[in-house]
Amino acid sequence: MNRGVLFMTIFHPDEDKGNQYRELWTKYVGRGQQTYTPSQIVVDKAQGAYLWTLDGRKLTDFTSGVLVSNLGYAHPKFETKFKEYYKQLPRNTYNMISPVQVEASKRLIESFGYSKAQKILWAASGSEGIQKAMWSALHRYPERNIIVATRHGFHGKKGLAADVTGDTSPNPNVRWISFPMGEGYEQDFYEKELNQLWDNHKGKIALLITEPYLGAKGSYHPPKWYHQLLQHWCNEHDIPFIFDEVQSCFGRTGNMYAFQTYGVEPDLVVLGKGMASGEPASAVVGREDLIEALDYGEASDTFSGGSSACCAVCATMDVFEEDKIVEHVKKTQGKLKDILMKLKQEFPFIMDVRGEGFVYGVDCVSLEIANKCVLEAYYGTGKEGVHFLGPLAKKVIRISPPLIITEKELDHAYQLLISAWRRI
């Protein structure tokens, strides 16, 4: 759709209530508020791994919001613990300290389990966390101006986070290095690229930032040696290594943190999304000398590390520990992979399936087919369906169900998808 053309309301047959609210949303809210999803569900309630639309359709959720609701929806233990932590705290704790803020900070740092995890900075969104991590490195080494980022990552839409997103940048100090996307290059290809970068900018590189896997680009997951190579190069040249775990933290890759999955110990790790089970929260955890490079007020903002965020983090960590969520993912991830590979075998319009843990990308032959997959999954049997977001990278459907989903629920979703996608 061209810029300047009015956004057209999405309508679905036999959804009078939902259509009414979609029309009102189009009337009042700018289209830039959301990404395009052909189903655009109007949700009435949510519980566990399920969503119910205003017109009564039950959907197995394969989105976790956007990798946010790792514990599913209205998790009873989380909700109870969240209220217990909150008590009568003020909703905003700007320039105040509450015990729960200290507890959340301490628990996150200790959960990393390695010596570089020393201090924390809080933020209210992933892109803000990325900016604070980058600010920390740039302030620590003010004489260095070069920023290194891996191509095709997504770190945010604002400021420095936007500068290191994609593969081009308005920031003249950004330099790009390759990220494995199935080309089959050996390790020496990336070593040569890194060494050339050092030769060109020796002593001037302030940081290297990457994602564990390329999510927004279509779910490309590198071999473990890739991130280990980046860390070794950074350590060798005293360059802060920043790991953007905004979408991969808290169990998504089969471990509590993706740095554990890939066997690295970054200097700074940015957390977000699933860490607070729906409350807006992000954090940077890492080296004290980097984080303390920011002076009073240089990382402050109105909502960062507030009481609701810290209560949600503590409640989430309690549930992860008590219900052994990561262990459940390790046990169940094989079932998810199995059903996705069966779908690939069944439908020739699926070109590839890429992923790990509880995050995959189903790569379709075209945007048109990918959108049809999302829409037909939504329609399902009429009464039941499966909920996806709109395609990534034009034709890749992200698969990211809540981590609490059971094998039985995954099997049921598989049967719904088989039935729905046979109509394409």
- CATH number of domain containing 141: 3.40.640.10
- 4, part of any domain: no
- 316, part of any domain: no
Whether residues 25 and 105 fall in one domain: no
Whether residues 130 and 224 fall in one domain: yes
Query: What's the CATH number where 349 sits?
Result: 3.90.1150.10
Whether residues 297 and 353 fall in one domain: no
Instruction: List C-alpha distances in Å: 31 to 3, 15, 77.
Output: 11, 21, 36
Whether residues 69 and 100 fall in one domain: no
- 257, part of any domain: yes
Whether residues 259 and 407 fall in one domain: no
Q: Is the pTM of this model over 0.85?
A: yes
Whether residues 37 and 115 fall in one domain: no
- 5, part of any domain: no
Task: Encode pLDDT of 149-191 as tens digits.
Answer: 999 999 999 999 999 999 999 999 999 999 999 999 999 999 9
What percentage of the chain has pLDDT greater than the value 70?
98
Please provide the average confidence, as pLDDT, over all residues in the chain.
96
- 3, part of any domain: no
Domain residues for the domain of 280 are 93-305
Which residues lie closer than 8 Å to 1 by C-beta, 6 or more apart? 7
Q: What is the pLDDT of residue 8?
A: 78
Task: Encode pLDDT of 3-35 as tens digits.
Answer: 444 467 899 999 999 999 999 999 999 999 999
Q: Which of 305, 335, 351 is the last residue of a domain?
A: 305
Whether residues 162 and 265 fall in one domain: yes
Task: Encode pLDDT of 59-92 as tens digits.
Answer: 999 999 999 999 999 999 999 999 999 999 999 8
Whether residues 141 and 264 fall in one domain: yes
In this structure, of 87-101, 132-146, 351-365, 403-417, the range with the lowest mean pLDDT score is 87-101
Whether residues 207 and 152 fall in one domain: yes
Task: Count up the domains in the chain and report the number.
Answer: 2
- 11, part of any domain: no
Whether residues 296 and 365 fall in one domain: no
Looking at the predicted structure, is the pLDDT value of residue 340 above 60?
yes
Q: What is the mean pLDDT of residues 99-107?
A: 98
Task: Encode pLDDT of 260-298 as tens digits.
Answer: 999 999 999 999 999 999 999 999 999 999 999 999 999
Q: What is the pLDDT of residue 2?
A: 45
- 342, part of any domain: yes
- 83, part of any domain: no
